[in-house]
Amino acid sequence: MNSLCSIIKFENLQELKRLCHWGPIIALGVIAICSTMAMIDSVLWYWPLHTTGGSVNFIMLINWTVMILYNYFNAMFVGPGFVPLGWKPENSQDSMYLQYCKVCQAYKAPRSHHCRKCNRCVMKMDHHCPWINNCCGYQNHASFTLFLLLAPLGCIHAAFIFVMTMYTQLYNRLSFGWNTVKIDMSAARRDPLPIVPFGLAAFAATLFALGLALGTTIAVGMLFFIQMKIILRNKTSIESWIEEKAKDRIQYYQLDEVFLFPYDMGSRWKNFKQVFTWSGVPEGDGLEWPIREGCHQYSLTIEQLKQKADKRVRSVRYKVIEDYSGACCPLNRGIKTFFTSPCTEEPRIQLHKGEFILATRGLRYWLYGDKILDDSFIEGVSRIRGWFPRNCVEKCPCDTETDSTSEGEKKNR
């Protein structure tokens, strides 16, 4: 009893509030609909008590549901791990390499970033995901990625059951002119008749569940591919953007240096093991990280400080070349842009040809930044902030201030 009380604390009960959000409600609703309909249809199609195959099919279906929910709730309630309030490095001299968070009253540890939704500095922050109503970071990155893997696999299994159920139940009722097709329909012709009658309502519900399963497979499968791509490089979405701006800074100032991402272990397997372990606990403590040879523990944070001091790379200027309606998943911007729409509550901004944007971060097919509402490039003017597709903008030529920078000043920087 004492151990149970130690687990159920007030703080843990407070975490249940995360369920009261449109993201978890929709996600759990889709899981519930697909799982329930798949179990009902599996009874209609392949009675689990009569054959070994039917039993295995039903057990696998339950197994998918349990594993999906386990990893989903792990990602939601375990959370990403937060930098302790008031944290500072053991060596006080190292604080010169770190940014200070006024909200958390602490230094930002390497790879950590402040989340405005969670209102805390998140360890190894990748992004804030509305579907789990929490950040994806150090502690829950593995659970979140496993959820992205298991959800499409479970939906593929469920979709197969839906298709076979509709086919077997309609086989004796409709004629499609397929008389030459030979299929064993014994499972559909058993006696007595199934407990759940397959009427018009059951057909409509199965068809609806099939659409949900196929849509989830495509959308979540794309997210899994994106996550695995950055995990195998031992990066996060934010760090990919920092690296891109680092290369842009070096190229513009013609510096004789090469930016090496410090946390890439040089092997995909080693990078993979930084997130996925047999114990389920990621390597390290979320504050200090193993680094590759030739890099400093604070190489990335030093680069961030350089970019913060350099106004030109802190916000890259873009000009709108094509109109954008502000749609969440715009079909007219291409398939890749449609399926890689950022999973975040942050808004999209409507763009018109000729407008200017200051982008502060981004993904491969999307950028995030501020739209300038007047003709001035001076920071502090009124702006609208949000996401927009990369393929509707282009980088602007340098403004007057950066154009007047001499070659000597560039090299000195």
Q: Which residues are catalytic?
A: 129
Judging by beta carbons within 10 Å of its beta carbon (0-12, 13-18, 19+), is residue 286 exposed, middle or buried?
buried
Question: In whole angstroms, what is the distance from residue 394 CA to residue 197 CA?
Answer: 58
Long-range pairs for 47-56: beta carbons < 8 A, 24 or more residues apart: 47/187, 47/190, 47/194, 50/190, 54/187
Count other C-beta atoms under 10 Å from residue 220's C-beta. 22
Residue closest to 215 by CA, chosen among 141, 161, 158: 158
130, 147 Cβ separation under 8 angstroms: no
Report d(CA 247, CA 238) in Å as an integer: 15
Structure tokens at 61: 């279906």
Give the angle subtended at the CA of 387 by the CAs of 383 and 390, to the nearest 5°: 110
**Separation CA 287–CA 137 (nearest Å):** 12
Tally of helices (H runs) and strands (E runs) in the chain: 13, 11
